[in-house]
Amino acid sequence: MDVLAELGTDVAFGLPGVHNLPIWEAVAGSGIRLIGVRHEQTAGYAADGYARATGRLGVAVVTTGPGAANTLGAVGEAMASASPVLVLATDIPSALRRPGTVRGVLHETSDQAAMFAPVTKAAITVKSPADLAPAVARAARIAREPQSGPVYVGIPTDFLRAGTERRPESEVTERFTAVDLDQLDYALALLAGAERPVIWAGGGAVRAEAGPVVGELAEKLTAPVITTFAGRGLLPPGHPCLAPTPVHAPEVGALWDEADVVLGVGSDFDGLMTQNWRMPRPPKLIAVNVDAKDAAKNYQPDVTLVGDARDVVAQLVGGLVARPGLGELTARLRRIEDTVRRRMRAEEPQAADFLGTLEETLPEGAVVVADMCVAGYWAGGYHRVSAPRRFAYPMGWGTLGFGFPASLGAAAAGGGRVVCVSGDGGFLYGCGDLATLAQESLPVTVIIVDDGGYGMLRFDQDRAGVPHRGVDLHTPNFVGLARSFGVHADEVKGFGRAFRRLLGEFVRAEEPNVLVVRAALKPPVNTSPRWYRTP
C-alpha cells in the first residue's frame, strides 16, 4: 500500500475475501481509500475508469480464484486500451500448495497467474514475504511504463501476515533514450516534401500528453489531425486542424486517401479504426511509437521514431518551417463537419438531439464514459470531446458492461461530474453497483437508453434478414431499480425537451442520479456493419 500511495494512487477498488482481509487492514493507514464494490468486474473496470480519467495507476484488490477470475473481462479491456491497471489478487496459502495438483483448498486454481497471461503485460506471483513489496513496485512500474497496461500480482495469502522488512523505493523510470537522429532527419525530409500530409493520432499521444505539440506541428504543416477513438480529446474541439470525427466518415476517410505522407503518433492502426485495414497504406508512413514492433504490425512504416510522443513531435516541430494554407485547411474541415453533422441529423435525428443536448448541458471538465451501446457508438464517433481524458470508451476490446462501473472509477478520482452512457443490456451487467454509487455518493449521472434489448444485435439480425432471436428482452423498471438503492432516478421518452430539462438538472446535482430514456437508435457509420469501405 505504501508503494501504491507513493505513486499517487489515492483510490483503489475491491471486494474482500478471507484471503485478502489483511489488505483491508493495511489500507487503513496508507492514505489510500479502498472503495468496496459488489462484483470484481466492477473493481477492474472502476480501476480502469480511474486510470483513464487521471493517468494514474488504477488498482483492483480481489480475492483468490473466482474473485480474481471475475476481473478478467475488465483486465482484457484495460489491455486492449493500454490502461495502467494493477490487479492485486491473493492466492491460496503457499504452505498448502502442491505444484501440479489441485488439492481442493478453498478458491484453488492450478495456475491463477496463467489465467491472466493473455490479458496482461505481466502476471507476477509473489515468491516470499520479502518479495511482496518489491513485486508490487515492479508490477506498478511495468503497468505504468509505456506502453502502459494491466499487470496481475498474485500474493499467497500467508505472505500477507508474515510482515516485510523494508519499504522499497517505488521504481518509476522514464526509459527512453534520445530518438535516432538519422531517422528524425529522414522523417523531417518526408514531411518537408509532403504535399498533402496528414497526422493520425492515437491513445499513445494522449498518454504522452502530446496534444499541444501535435497541434503545433499540424498548424506548421497545415495537416489535418485525425484522431482514433482512444485519441479523442487530444486537440480541443476548436483547433484549426482537427478533423471533426474519426475516419469512418467518408469525408474524413478521403483526407487519409489523399495523403502522400501520414505521420502516425501513438497508434497501432487497429482493425476498428482502419475498417480492418481496408484503408490503403499511405504512399509514405512515418510512425512515432514507444514500441517499433507495435508501430509496424499493421502498416509497415517507412520510418519509425521510437520514443516519447511529446518529445519526438516537439523535435519535429523544431525541425520544420511553417507553410501557408492554414485558412483553407480549416475551411475544408469546417465544411466536412457541416456535411457530417447534416447527414447525422438526416439519418438519425435522435442521435443529433442526444449529442446536442449532451454538449449543451455537460459541465466544464465533465468526463463522458460510454458503453458498447448504440448511443455510446454515437458518442464515440461524434461527441466533441473537450480535452484529453474526458472521454472513455471500451474500444479497446469492445467490452459490453464497461460503462457504468468505469464511470464509478472516473468519478472516484474527484474531478467532478461523470456522465455514463449505457444501454439497458450493458447496465444490467453491473447494476448491483448502484449500491456502490449510493454508498459513496459519487457524482455520476447514468443515462440508460432503454430499447428493450440488444439493439446493436437487433440491427445485425434485421440487416441479415433473419428473425429476432435473443435480442428482444425483458427489462426491469430501471427507475424503480435505482430508487430501491436510494439513487435518484427519472424516466423520459426520447431525446426531446423533457430529456434536455432533466439532464440539465441531473448533471448539476450534487448526488448521483439515473436518467432512463426510452428510445431506439439506428447505429452510426463507425460501427462495423455500417463501414463504408467494403472488402
Ligand X SMILES: Cc1ncc(C[n+]2csc(CCOP(=O)(O)OP(=O)(O)O)c2C)c(N)n1
**CB of 377 closer than 8 Å to CB of 248:** no
Nearest distance, CB of residue 517 and Mg ion, angstroms: 11
Using CB distances below 5 to 8 A depending on partner kind, what does residue 374 bind out of Mg ion, ligand X, none? ligand X
Nearest distance, CB of residue 420 and ligand X, angstroms: 12
Nearest distance, CB of residue 474 and ligand X, angstroms: 12
**CB of 452 closer than 8 Å to CB of 468:** no
Residue 424, CA distances (Å) to 33, 232, 383, 421, 436 in order: 30, 25, 20, 10, 19
Give the CB-side neighbour count of residue 159, counting CA atoms within 13 A: 21
Question: Of the two residues 439 and 528, which places its CB atom closer to ligand X in the complex?
Answer: 528
As a whole number of angstroms, the distance between CA 373 and CA 385 comes to 18
Using CB distances below 5 to 8 A depending on partner kind, what does residue 398 bind out of ligand X, Mg ion, none? ligand X
Q: Is 17 in the site for ligand X (CB under 6 A)?
A: no
Question: Of the two residues 245 and 399, which places its CB atom closer to ligand X in the complex?
Answer: 399
Using CB distances below 5 to 8 A depending on partner kind, what does residue 249 bind out of ligand X, Mg ion, none? none
- Per-residue binding string, ligand X, 472-511, x by CB under 6 A, is ----------------------------------------
**CB of 407 closer than 8 Å to CB of 440:** no
Q: Which of the ranges 171-179, 226-234, 265-273, 447-455 carries the binding residues for ligand X, by CB under 6 A? A: 447-455
Q: Is 400 in the site for ligand X (CB under 6 A)?
A: yes
Length of the chain equals 535
As a whole number of angstroms, the distance between CA 211 and CA 389 comes to 11
Nearest distance, CB of residue 534 and ligand X, angstroms: 22
As a whole number of angstroms, the distance between CA 472 and CA 356 comes to 28
Q: Which of the ranges 10-18, 132-140, 412-420, 446-454 carries the binding residues for ligand X, by CB under 6 A? A: 446-454
**CB of 428 closer than 8 Å to CB of 112:** no
Q: Is 42 in the site for ligand X (CB under 6 A)?
A: no
As a whole number of angstroms, the distance between CA 348 and CA 345 comes to 6
Q: Give the 3-state DSSP-derived string for 32-66, with helices as H, strands as E and coil as C.
A: CEEEECCCHHHHHHHHHHHHHHHCCCEEEEECCCH
Question: Of the two residues 14 and 423, which places its CB atom closer to Mg ion in the complex?
Answer: 423
Contacting ligand X (CB under 6 A), which of 435, 457, 479, 498?
457
Residues 56-115 that bind ligand X (CB under 6 A): 73
As a whole number of angstroms, the distance between CA 105 and CA 98 comes to 10
Residue with nearest beta carbon to ligand X: 423
Question: Of the two residues 96 and 457, which places its CB atom closer to ligand X in the complex?
Answer: 457
Q: Is 380 in the site for ligand X (CB under 6 A)?
A: no
| Residues sharing a CB contact under 8 Å with residue 370, sequence separation 6 or more, in sequence order | 376, 377, 379, 380, 383, 391, 392, 393, 394, 403, 420, 421
As a whole number of angstroms, the distance between CA 134 and CA 178 comes to 29
Q: Which residues bind Mg ion (CB under 5 A)?
A: 423-425, 451, 455
Q: Is 405 in the site for ligand X (CB under 6 A)?
A: no
Give the three cell numbers for residue 177. Answer: 533514450
Nearest distance, CB of residue 401 and ligand X, angstroms: 6
Q: Which of the ranges 16-24, 204-212, 293-301, 394-402 carries the binding residues for ligand X, by CB under 6 A? A: 394-402
Task: Note the residues at the interface with ligand X (CB under 6 A).
Answer: 73, 372-374, 398-401, 423-426, 449, 451, 454-457
